[in-house]
Structure 1
Amino acid sequence: MVRPRPARVADLHALALAMPHVTVEGGSQGNEVYQVGGKSFVYFRTPRPDAVDPATGEKYDDVIVLWVPDEEDKRALVEDPATPFFTTPHFDGHPSVLVRACRLGELTRQQLAEVVEDGWCSRASQRRVETWRASRA
């Protein structure tokens, strides 16, 4: 039996770029922002005061924001102790989850692919989503 491979940051870039109609924008500090139809679905966030190491108070410098379909999906990911996803009060009411790049290896590549694909589907037009799903059938 082949054991699933842990996800890596390179996988996240490849998975996001593999989705149709994706553009990569540069954030304010050169960080990657993956978009479909002008709407972000994955972005590498710059350090912010709402995501800090509880032991040191240092701002995390490797936070990635991934869009999710809805609040129910967000809660499922954030509340599952088996996943590295989290949120902060800054993202209350926002359909996204956060994950630190250094913890992506706690997911398999396939698990990460599902989150990226769901995020893309939540931001792409209905026509694009239908076309993409039909191509996979």
Structure 2
Amino acid sequence: MVTEDDVRRIALALPETTEKTMYGTPAFYVRGKWFARVREEGDVLVLPLGTQEEKAALIAAEPAKFFTTPHYDGHASVLVRFGAVDAGEMGELLADAWRLRAPKRLAAGFDG
């Protein structure tokens, strides 16, 4: 099971990532753009996705891991349960969200 400390460690290892508070909870940013936020529950992460179709596919394929709430209807963001993913998968999810928000050159350098 992934913890908030795991999420923090993984996120802050990504280039030019900073942590700030968003809606009273920890959030992670790359050059001023958020790419992950811990929800109020403390064991759920909000991640942006490229499209709403990607969101629907993740939720349909693995509803124990991924879900949404009415607040996120119409947004390409998905909620991830900490207890349903391991550190490796969380790392992949965070890196994908980071790439989505990072400037192209920074992301290209990271993927090198």
Structure with max Cα Rg? 1
- Give the residue type in structure 2 aligned to 1:106: A
- The CA RMSD measured in Å over matched residues stands at 1.8
Question: Taking every aligned residue pair, what percent have the same amino acid on both sides?
Answer: 35
Give the number of equivalent residue pairs.
Answer: 111
Q: Which runs of 5+ in 2 are unaligned?
A: none
Larger % of strand: which? 2
Distance (whole Å) between structure 2 residues aligned to residue 83 and residue 12 of structure 1: 19
For residue 82 of structure 1, report the CA deviation from its aligned partner.
Answer: 5.8
The runs of 4+ residues in structure 1 deviating greater than 4 Å are none
Question: Normalising by structure 1, what TM-score?
Answer: 0.71
Select 1:45's aligned residue among 26, 34, 39: 39
Distance (whole Å) between structure 2 residues aligned to residue 123 and residue 85 of structure 1: 20
- 1:122 counterpart = 2:100: yes
- For residues 13-66 of structure 1, the C-alpha deviation after alignment (integer angstroms, 9 at most, x for no partner) is 11110110111112343x2110012111011233xxxxxxxxxxxxxx234211
- For residues 67-125 of structure 1, the C-alpha deviation after alignment (integer angstroms, 9 at most, x for no partner) is 2232233122211236421112221232211134xxx1321211111110110011111
Distance (whole Å) between structure 2 residues aligned to residue 132 and residue 41 of structure 1: 16
Structure 1 equivalent of residue 11 of structure 2 = 16
- Give the residue type in structure 1 aligned to 2:70: P
Question: Normalising by structure 2, what TM-score?
Answer: 0.85
Q: Which runs of 5+ in 1 are unaligned?
A: 1-5, 47-60
